[in-house]
Structure 1
Amino acid sequence: MSLKAASAAAALLGTGGTVLCSARLDLPERFNFLSLDGVSPNSRSIQRLRSRILVNEDSFHAFPHRLRLVFSIKAADSTQPSSLASPEKDIITDDEFSLAKVSFGVIGLSVGVSLLSYGFGAYFNILPGSEWSAIMLTYGFPLAIIGMALKYAELKPVECLTYSDAQKLRDQCATPILKQVRDDVIRYRYGDEQHLEEALKRIFQYGQGGGIARRSAPILQKIREEVTEDGKYCLVLVFEAKALKLSDFEQRQPKFASFFGPGITAEVVKGEKDLYEVRLISNTTL
């Protein structure tokens, strides 16, 4: 193939790439002579290119050696704007230690079982310290019971996804109620059936006229801190509700705003599958 044909092929694809021609390459299939990095072999550009180059398919049978075009596609010029390019946001990981992130049920159960095990071992002279066996059994039994009770009533924290730009706005723009909601759902709770139980009970009015059944109540799966397009702090509550529809959330949108207010605007968005997002946007700006 001539240099002119190779240049035309590159121009036809619009890749601005480099064309390398190899003249001693026998391929098993005559239509697989074209190899493109990042371009689908069934794309319209490839079909047009083949129609330009393979004018007569049977002519390839007359040559023992066939040509192969390899297009090395370069990255787009950074000086030219791209509508697909969007700045990536950094996700902040919460690695700070806090007692709210510790399960007291696990601690009580572990300490209680350990004291009971060692106490029985010392009492039967299997382990040393027989003089302390009575004390270990006395304290180990109630600690184990309390630990099991806390573990049974334990409500695990939900996942919290925080973007760096939202973290910078949290202290100054987030309302005290939004901060409290965030702190409550990312820690262990005991005795509650689900997170935000009191809020959901008032908003969806379980068992009341115009309300929903308690078994259909949405369940908080995770929260997300982000910044809106106009630069406002937003706390997103992601609920799973298999028995509800988007209209069930939309008609209660004012109740979300009033319960978690003042100073916020509530929006409802349909997520994937049975997920619904309630966006609590702070009206406070810098």
Structure 2
Amino acid sequence: MFRKISLGSLGLTVGSILTVIGFIAYATGNATLNLAGLFYGVPILLGGLALKAAELKPTPYSVPTSPEIISLREQQATSTQNQLRQDVTRFRYGQEAHLDESLEKIGLSPTDEERPELIGLRETATDGAYTLILEFASPFISLEQWQNKQEKIEKFFGPNIKAKITQSEEQFIDLALIKQN
């Protein structure tokens, strides 16, 4: 639940409230509340602004996950699949894009401008195996370049992961991470 809360928005809200209370207390001559409001409110407000500026929003699910797939995930998902799903579906701070470092290590991010962008994810079953599908907008990296990195992707996200790379539409790549026994 807390993964879905923006710390930047929380800091802005709390900091704004405390700062306003501090100014009102100053105007009414309440020195104690004035100090508490201003000395806590302004730094929290500035911290909220800084977090908001460095915020990376969670990646949305393109298709809601059914209860059957959730049950399959609980039984079969690897720790890497779970960590990956949890990381991209929460607010992140100080990163350019989701999976930017991973794509760089795999060799699919020659520059920041050419880096594929994670735009969605979905969970499904492939021949009875839990599958996490990452959906990328990839206008600068072709399907062939992705397929040339398939073995490296499997090693990076493995063990017990098989990668299947497909092109859903022109300039859009689906990377399916399938649980293997």
User: TM-score, normalised on structure 1?
Assistant: 0.60
**Aligned mate of 1:254, from 128, 148, 151:** 151
**Aligned mate of 1:237, from 118, 123, 134:** 134
Contact 2:108 2:116 survives alignment (8 Å):
no
Q: Tell me: higher relative CO, structure 1 or 2? Use CA pairs within 8 A at least 6 residues apart.
A: 2
Is 2:138 the partner of 1:197? no
Query: Distance in 1 between the 2:9 and 2:178 partners?
Result: 36
- Matched letter for residue 128 of structure 2: G
Instruction: Tell me the residue number matched to 2:44.
Output: 143
Offset of residue 130 of structure 1: 4.9
Offset of residue 131 of structure 1: 3.6
Instruction: Tell me the residue number matched to 2:119.
Output: 221
SS in 2 for 1:214: coil
Offset of residue 213 of structure 1: 2.9
SS in 2 for 1:262: coil
Is 2:164 the partner of 1:267? yes
The count of residues paired between Structure 1 and Structure 2 equals: 179
1:1-286 correspondence to structure 2 within 5 Å: 98-125=1-28, 129-160=30-61, 161=63, 162-204=65-107, 206=109, 212-228=110-126, 230-284=127-181
Q: Percent identity?
A: 38
Contact 2:108 2:146 survives alignment (8 Å):
no
SS in 2 for 1:159: coil
Structure whose alpha-carbon radius of gyration is higher: 1
Query: Distance in 1 between the 2:43 and 2:158 partners?
Result: 43
- Matched letter for residue 155 of structure 1: L
Offset of residue 129 of structure 1: 4.5
- Matched letter for residue 142 of structure 1: P
Contact 1:165 1:227 survives alignment (8 Å):
no
Query: Distance in 2 between the 1:101 and 1:148 partners?
Result: 18
SS in 1 for 2:83: helix
Query: Distance in 2 between the 1:239 and 1:180 partners?
Result: 18
**How well do the aligned residues superpose, as a CA RMSD in angstroms?**
1.5
SS in 2 for 1:144: helix
SS in 2 for 1:237: strand
Gaps of 5+ in 1: 1-97, 207-211
Query: Distance in 2 between the 1:106 and 1:214 partners?
Result: 27
**Structure 1 residue runs of 4+, over 6 Å off?**
none
Offset of residue 274 of structure 1: 2.1
- Structure that is richer in helix per residue: 2
- Matched letter for residue 50 of structure 2: A
Query: Distance in 2 between the 1:129 and 1:268 partners?
Result: 64
Per the alignment, do residues 240 and 205 of structure 1 end up closer, same or farther by CA in structure 2, a change over 3 Å counting?
Answer: closer
